[in-house]
Amino acid sequence: MLKLGTLCYVRQHHQTLMLHRIKKANDMHAGKWNGLGGKLEPGETPEQCVIREVYEESGLRLVDPVLRGVLTFPAFDDFDDWYCFVFVAQTFTGELIDSPEGVLAWIDDAALLDLNLWAGDKIFLRWLDQPHFFSGQFRYRNGQLIEHHVIFHDLSARRDTRPSRLPSGRAHYQPSDDTYCWTCGGPVLKRHCKIVCQVCGFTRDCSDP
């Protein structure tokens, strides 16, 4: 069955609000640290859903949450396919409550990856600070990440003008530009006509730009 959900990372002062899932029985996220969010209700937009869910889970009322990407999790619980709209929010009102979903805590951004996270979370959390909109897929089996891939969309680029997207700012492509990731500088793997970063997952065509 297809299920739609939202996930939000609320940020302030170089910290991110995280939820430690240790309260609910039979929680598929038990013991993990997650962002906030939940399932869309009939007729809701992703924005309406994330504002409602964050308020219900934390007592904070988001102002203008920003959609940063979409993630898909095929058969995440061995039954349901989850499609998740991922938001970042930096403006909100209200005070934290005793959440029914778990224990809330502001975590230093530098310490986020040290938490007990899903393996895929440690990958896509890095994407939140990149300027691209992402569409990623994470495939788990028995709770273990077995594969993932992502496409980054540069929404500011117009393909008819073909602006420079090289890290150096050069307007012309050189063969040496295919030896590293244009986003994070990490090592890449060439597959067919795709160049895939082995660190952040950034994917592009060999024919770019």
Q: d(Cα 186, Cα 207) in Å, to the nearest integer?
A: 19
Task: Note down pLDDT in tens along the chain; length 209 residues.
Answer: 888 999 999 999 999 999 999 887 777 788 899 999 999 999 999 999 999 999 999 999 999 999 999 999 998 777 789 899 999 999 999 999 999 989 999 999 999 999 999 999 999 999 999 888 999 999 998 889 999 999 998 877 544 433 344 454 444 455 666 776 766 666 777 776 777 776 667 777 765 54
Residue 69 is predicted with a pLDDT of 96
Residue 197 is predicted with a pLDDT of 75
Residue written as token pair 């996930």: 7
**Amino acid at residue number 146:** I
In our burial notation (b when 16+ CB lie closer than 10 A, e otherwise), range 62-75 reads beebeebbebebee
Q: d(Cα 176, Cα 79) in Å, to the nearest integer?
A: 44
* CATH node for 2-152: 3.90.79.10
User: Where exactly are the structural domains of the chain?
Assistant: 2-152, 158-209
Q: d(Cα 188, Cα 1) in Å, to the nearest integer?
A: 35
DSSP structure string for 131-158: SSEEEEEEEEETTEEEEEEEEEE-TT--
1 to 27, 78, 129, 164, 195: CA distances (angstroms) = 18, 10, 32, 42, 32
110 to 7, 13, 157, 189: CA distances (angstroms) = 20, 12, 30, 28
Q: Are 183 and 150 in contact (CB under 8 A)?
A: no
Query: DSSP assignment, residue 34?
Result: E
Residue 24 is predicted with a pLDDT of 78
**N-term to C-term CA, the chain:** 39
